[in-house]
A and B are shown apart, each in its own frame.
Chain A
Amino acid sequence: MDRDASIIQLCRQGHRAGFARLVEAYQERVYRTAYTFVQHREDAQDLTQEVFLRTVRAIDSLDSSRPLWPWLRRVTTNLALTYLKQRKGHLSLDELPEAALPTSGPSEPSWTRVDLQRAMAELPPLWRMVLTLRHQEDLTYDEIARLLELPVGTVKTYLFRARRALRARLGSEGGDGWR
């Protein structure tokens, strides 16, 4: 029996060890994913807690022969979307605010990971989610479209714009170095 199956079994039987293992195995991954999506520590924690609560409520209906992460990623993504729609106020989920555009061309030949994190944080949330699901989660374009309930063409457009925006922010025509 693999790890996820035994976690599900233990949780169903109400053993504390099951919940402890569930948290041990996935808390960090869920939190980091939520944080990447919403860029806010406290709200990422609330989201994380809600993801696990929903998992516990659904534990009897989960298929113990399947890995848990796709389920957790889906709940995390759905909750993050709901959250972002609530929070957005006047900010668009899929347009780049003017202020985020670089005023002049980049001068450094390469970027640090902190630069990348900062540039990611400035992207419209939906662009950032699509980018993360592609390059961190290795989902196909079709899988991303299904997960976010968007047309595949929209996913491609967001990916193109997000990557181009990062190139405008981080890229340098002068160098090919990266670290």
Chain B
Amino acid sequence: MALMRCDEELIQLYVDGVLHPAEAALVEAHLQECRACRRQAGFYKSLYWDLGRAAGLAPEPPQEPEALADLLLAEHRRGEEPEAPPATTWDFATLWLRANPAFTRPARAVSSLGHIGAEGLRRAEGLREGLRRPGKWPRWLWRKGGG
């Protein structure tokens, strides 16, 4: 009694634990009688397990922690200066994040920007060439602007 055809996506979702219990029961019944899908399920179980540990394969950060901490302290002090620099004005991505209640305290001045979202990011990208302080940005942000 074939309740379900072989369906790789369902097998993936089943192993991922995101199926509704009724759907999961159908997949389980199918797995009982289908060797090929059992193999697939076994593969995906192994794959997910390994993917969960794949971060360990990325290299160590090359930058000295002390140097980064000093840079951040300097950035903080620069932000405290009475004459605020213009860089953050253009920084829509951060403004959007700051305006997002999931991350920030409510009732900030920037909240009037609302959910700029993707549009804000695109605008921030478009304004890239107008950045006055390219040195503060990663190379890839101003490379094409000729900075």
B-binding residues in A (CB < 8 A): 11, 14, 16, 19-20, 22-24, 27-28, 31-33, 35-36, 41-43, 45-50, 52-54, 56-59, 61-63, 66, 70-71, 74-75, 78-79, 81-83, 85-87, 110-111, 113-114, 116-117, 120, 131-132, 134-136, 141, 149, 159-160, 163-164, 166-167, 170-173, 176, 178
Q: Which residue of A lies closest to B119 (CB)?
A: A149
Dominant SS among interface residues on chain B: helix
Q: Which residue of B lies closest to A167 (CB)?
A: B43
Cβ-defined contact, B94 with A75, below 8 A: yes
- Considering only residues 94-147 of chain B, those with a C-beta below 8 Å from chain A are 94, 97-98, 102-105, 108, 110, 117-118, 121, 124-125, 136-141, 143-144
Q: Which residue of B lies closest to A116 (CB)?
A: B50
- Cβ contacts B46-63/A at 8 Å (1 or 0 each): 111111111111111111
What residues on B are CB-neighbors of A86 within 8 Å? 125, 140-141, 143-144
Cβ-defined contact, B88 with A78, below 8 A: no
What residues on A are CB-neighbors of B83 within 8 Å? none
Q: Which residue of A lies closest to B110 (CB)?
A: A61
Cβ-defined contact, B72 with A22, below 8 A: yes
In Å, the complex CA distance between A63 and B125 comes to 27
In Å, the complex CA distance between A145 and B71 comes to 33
Shortest Cβ distance from residue B62 to the other chain A in the assembled complex, whole angstroms: 6
- Beyond A31-B61, A63-B104, A136-B51, 7 additional pairs, beta carbon < 8 A: A19-B72, A36-B54, A43-B139, A52-B72, A56-B72, A82-B93, A163-B47
Which of B51, B62, B75 meets A56, CB within 8 Å?
A: B75
Q: Give the number of chain B interface residues (Cβ < 8 Å).
A: 67
What residues on B are CB-neighbors of A75 within 8 Å? 93-94, 97
Shortest Cβ distance from residue B65 to the other chain A in the assembled complex, whole angstroms: 5
In Å, the complex CA distance between A160 and B36 comes to 18
